[in-house]
């Protein structure tokens, strides 16, 4: 029996810098502290991702640990297991336990992990608030772990025991809160500079059955006591944390969620916090979702409305058991938010069962709405051990072809110490590897043109103004990239798309240094950002090539003057490195009004306007790469990328005798 037991729980930062309080580790510690049978036990929470030997040594700062718990996620699992191996050498008598979403629950996979990771003694499945204290009690008493549900245990003789399946935690009020019991106070005092975001839960569980997600394992939605949620939110704002994220799978699914939103708005009014709030909306109630969003918007709490459609094709949604989620609800919410100027984004996943090249490229085009503050987020399908899609049966049924790819950090100046890995789907029965590569190139070219604003004005005009098929337009440009002559900007785009697709298909990293960067000289970027670096470096040539291809696509369908105007306006409002002086151009059409009205059906007015564009300060950065990186960061954050001023010629003439010009300042959206 162990007397004064010492426990260290590690929830290490992710592959990219993670400025968030470690909720999972905190809840485990806070719940264990409530157990009278564990009185006298000391606890520590480890978060810092530093050299592995240092991380293991730090576990012993208060004396050798008796139990080491590690919370494994896709973004920290490889690092955590490396720390476990070092800790095993440093503390041979410690019990080392791994839990979290990246611990496989299928018995055969759990046994395989124990074989591959000799430093790990126990794997814990599912929610840990019941399992972890029970494990600590058994360790303290020197008792066997066999009666504890939800474990895979390495026996002394080397055999593996998998105990009974764990039960759901249905009384969340019986769990501990690290916000309220002092756990996070101690962590805040030690690491205050590392935290700018708080992660909270108001409910747990998801009623949907999406096969690519392990949230679907929880099904029944259970609420945390409302008074506890209010008290935790008070801790967050009282400690000056401005950014709040919810771990709820579907915020808005419970009737009380609107009252919680009003509570957040009241906190904002009283304290100035939170300044931003990130959450996952419930899927099928756009009326309640819109009210939630408007409450936040009116309270000046920044938020981005994520529309988790993943795909717009009914056959694909059925293949991943997502057909009970209504994409029409997401589209209607997008329209309502667009009309109010509230930012939205559609989440899309490439590599889902049932997708074809034709269906997925149509999904991408559907996501490219004309609203000025809308984007889409493109994910590669990554298999999660405990999700149904990762099961042997699903792999066989859908003919999944995968690659295990390295995941380097894309945060400048951040050393992840150990690269993580992800298993990426690169082919299915319906989407062979060759078609996956084609869809990859199409989708990320579209992401660069649309999301990163390389061609946003032109795409809008061709699709809405001329009424042409947006999917076909992007496909035409994609084909031009594939056949571009050497030396052209489009040929450079092709080489970059091939570089990224080739890296993934070879099992290499899926983020790479930007084009032209020296080895080790720049943080890796995603493929759409790499394409934007190329286009923005030679932007006038990029627009000239694109204009020629677009004119060939449009043929006689459109007004040449308006199309030329669209390209000139796109050129005007896109900053160039080294150009700090304002630029002014006259147009035959009112492009600022058309862009601002985006997606509402407003026609492009044939009205002469003169527009002045003042570039942003970062256009004068010392280096081109710095200016482009800053520009892309501003675009992604939906910040202004310069100032558009509409010069009212009538007002200007009237004001001429007074020595002034009439200007209406508009945000530089496009």
Count CB neighbours of 135 within 10 A. Answer: 24
Contact 594, 602 (CB under 8 A): yes
- Which distant-in-sequence residues (6+ apart) come within 8 Å of 544 by Cβ? none
Please report the domains of the chain, with CATH numbers, ordered by start residue. Answer: 6-172 (3.40.50.280), 581-614+640-670 (no CATH)
Residue 397: is its pLDDT beyond 60? yes
> Which whole number is the average pLDDT over 293-308?
90
Digit-coded pLDDT (tens) for 469-492: 999 999 999 999 999 999 999 999
Digit-coded pLDDT (tens) for 198-229: 999 999 999 888 898 887 677 789 999 999 99
Contact 356, 579 (CB under 8 A): no
| Mean pLDDT taken over the chain | 91
- What confidence score (pLDDT) does residue 588 get? 95
Count CB neighbours of 184 within 10 A. Answer: 25
Residue 670: is its pLDDT beyond 50? no
- What confidence score (pLDDT) does residue 328 get? 77
> Which whole number is the average pLDDT over 659-664?
35
| Eight-class DSSP state of 180 | T
- What confidence score (pLDDT) does residue 330 get? 81
What distance in Å separates the CA atoms of residue 96 and residue 8, rounded to the nearest whole number?
A: 10
CA angle 43, 82, 71 (to 5 degrees): 45
What distance in Å separates the CA atoms of residue 191 and residue 193, rounded to the nearest whole number?
A: 6
Residue 198 has which token pair? 């708080």
- Which distant-in-sequence residues (6+ apart) come within 8 Å of 66 by Cβ? 2, 5, 6, 7, 93, 94, 95, 139
Of 210 and 185, the one with more pLDDT: 185
Residue with tokens 């955590």: 80
Digit-coded pLDDT (tens) for 108-150: 999 999 999 999 999 999 899 999 999 999 999 999 999 999 9
CA angle 229, 231, 232 (to 5 degrees): 65
pLDDT band at 667 (very low <50, low <70, confident <90, very high): very low
Of 301 and 4, the one with more pLDDT: 301
Q: Is 566 helix (H, G, I), strand (E, B) or coil?
A: helix
Residue 80: is its pLDDT beyond 50? yes
Percent of the chain with pLDDT over 90: 77
DSSP track, 301-317: -B--EEEEEE---HHHH
| Closest to 392 (Cα-Cα) out of 383, 403, 404 | 383
> Which whole number is the average pLDDT over 332-347?
87
Residue 95: is its pLDDT beyond 50? yes
Residue with tokens 């304290």: 271
Q: How close are the terminal C-alpha atoms of the chain, in Å?
A: 67
- What confidence score (pLDDT) does residue 146 get? 92
Residue 652: is its pLDDT beyond 50? no
- Which distant-in-sequence residues (6+ apart) come within 8 Å of 131 by Cβ? 99, 124, 125, 148, 149, 150, 151, 166
What distance in Å separates the CA atoms of residue 409 and residue 509, rounded to the nearest whole number?
A: 10
Element at 611 (helix H, strand E) = strand 609-614
**Highest mean pLDDT (candidates 276-290, 298-312, 389-403):** 389-403
Residue 287: is its pLDDT beyond 90? no
| Eight-class DSSP state of 627 | H
Count CB neighbours of 467 within 10 A. Answer: 9
Residue 531: is its pLDDT beyond 50? yes
Contact 131, 148 (CB under 8 A): yes
Contact 417, 80 (CB under 8 A): no
CA angle 452, 456, 459 (to 5 degrees): 135
Angle at which helices 489-505 and 527-537 cross, to 10°: 160
Secondary structure, 3-state, 419-478: CEEEEEEEECCCCCHHHHHHHHHHHHHHHHHHCCCCCHHHHHHHHHHCCCCHHHHHHHHH
pLDDT band at 662 (very low <50, low <70, confident <90, very high): very low
- Which distant-in-sequence residues (6+ apart) come within 8 Å of 510 by Cβ? 380, 405, 406, 407, 422, 424, 500, 503, 504, 526
> Which whole number is the average pLDDT over 633-646?
92
DSSP track, 472-511: HHHHHHHHHHHTPPTTSHHHHHHHHHHHHHHHHHTT--SS
What distance in Å separates the CA atoms of residue 305 and residue 299, rounded to the nearest whole number?
A: 15
């Amino acid at each position: 029996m162990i007397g004064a037991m010492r426990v260290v729980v590690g929830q290490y930062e992710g592959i990219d810098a993670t400025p968030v309080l470690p909720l999972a580790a905190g809840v485990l510690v806070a719940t264990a502290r409530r157990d009278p049978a564990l009185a006298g036990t000391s606890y520590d929470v480890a978060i810092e991702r530093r050299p592995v030997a240092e991380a293991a040594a730090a576990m012993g700062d208060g004396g050798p640990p008796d139990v080491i718990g590690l919370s494994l996620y896709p973004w920290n699992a490889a690092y955590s297991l490396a720390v476990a191996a070092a800790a095993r050498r440093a503390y041979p008598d410690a019990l080392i336990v791994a839990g979290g979403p990246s611990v496989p629950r299928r018995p055969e996979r759990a046994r395989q992990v124990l074989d591959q990771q000799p430093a790990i003694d126990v794997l814990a499945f599912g929610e840990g608030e019941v399992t972890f204290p029970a494990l600590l009690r058994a360790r303290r008493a020197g008792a066997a772990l066999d009666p504890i549900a939800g474990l895979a245990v390495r026996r002394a003789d080397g055999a593996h025991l998998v105990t009974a399946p764990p039960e759901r935690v249905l009384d969340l009020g019986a769990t501990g809160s690290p916000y309220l019991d002092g756990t996070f106070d101690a962590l805040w005092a030690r690491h205050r500079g590392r935290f700018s975001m708080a992660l909270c839960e108001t409910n747990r569980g998801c009623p949907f059955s999406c096969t690519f997600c392990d949230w679907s394992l929880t099904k029944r939605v259970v609420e945390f006591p409302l008074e506890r949620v209010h008290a935790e939110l008070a801790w967050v704002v009282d400690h000056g944390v401005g950014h709040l994220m919810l771990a709820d799978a579907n915020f808005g699914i419970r009737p009380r969620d609107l009252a919680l939103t009003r509570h957040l708005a009241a906190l904002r009014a009283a304290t100035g916090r939170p300044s931003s709030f990130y959450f996952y909306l419930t899927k099928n109630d756009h009326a309640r979702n819109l009210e939630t969003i408007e409450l936040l918007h009116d309270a000046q709490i920044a938020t981005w409305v994520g529309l988790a459609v993943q795909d717009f094709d009914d056959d694909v949604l059925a293949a991943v058991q997502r057909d009970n989620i209504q994409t029409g609800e997401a589209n209607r919410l997008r329209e309502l938010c667009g009309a109010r100027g509230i930012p939205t984004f559609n989440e899309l996943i490439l590599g889902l069962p049932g997708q074809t090249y034709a269906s997925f490229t149509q999904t991408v085009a559907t996501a490219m709405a004309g609203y000025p503050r809308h984007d889409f987020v493109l994910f590669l399908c990554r298999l999660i051990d405990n999700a149904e899609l990762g099961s042997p049966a699903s792999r066989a049924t859908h003919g999944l072809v995968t690659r295990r790819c390295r995941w380097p950090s894309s945060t400048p100046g951040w050393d992840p110490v150990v690269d993580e890995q992800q298993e990426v789907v690169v082919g299915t029965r319906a989407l062979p590897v060759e078609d996956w590569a084609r869809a990859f190139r199409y989708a990320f070219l579209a992401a660069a043109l649309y999301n990163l604003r390389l061609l946003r004005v032109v795409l809008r005009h061709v699709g809405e103004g001329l009424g042409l098929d947006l999917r076909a337009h992007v496909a035409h440009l994609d084909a031009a990239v594939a056949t571009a002559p050497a030396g052209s900007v489009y040929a450079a785009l092709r080489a970059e798309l091939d570089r990224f697709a080739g890296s993934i298909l070879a099992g290499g990293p899926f983020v790479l240094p930007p084009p032209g960067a020296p080895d080790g000289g720049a943080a890796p970027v995603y493929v759409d950002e790499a394409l934007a670096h190329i286009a923005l470096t030679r932007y006038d040539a990029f627009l000239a090539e694109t204009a020629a291809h677009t004119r060939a696509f449009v043929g006689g369908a459109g007004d040449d003057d308006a199309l030329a105007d669209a390209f000139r306006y796109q050129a005007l409002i896109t900053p160039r490195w080294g150009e700090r002086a304002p630029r002014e151009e006259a147009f035959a059409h009112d492009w600022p009004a058309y862009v601002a009205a985006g997606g509402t059906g407003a026609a492009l007015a044939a009205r002469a306007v003169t527009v002045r564009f003042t570039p942003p300060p970062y256009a004068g950065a010392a280096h081109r790469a710095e200016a482009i990186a800053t520009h892309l960061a501003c675009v992604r954050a939906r910040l202004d990328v310069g100032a558009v001023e509409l010069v009212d010629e009538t007002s200007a003439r009237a004001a001429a005798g007074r020595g002034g010009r009439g200007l209406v300042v508009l945000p530089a959206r496009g």
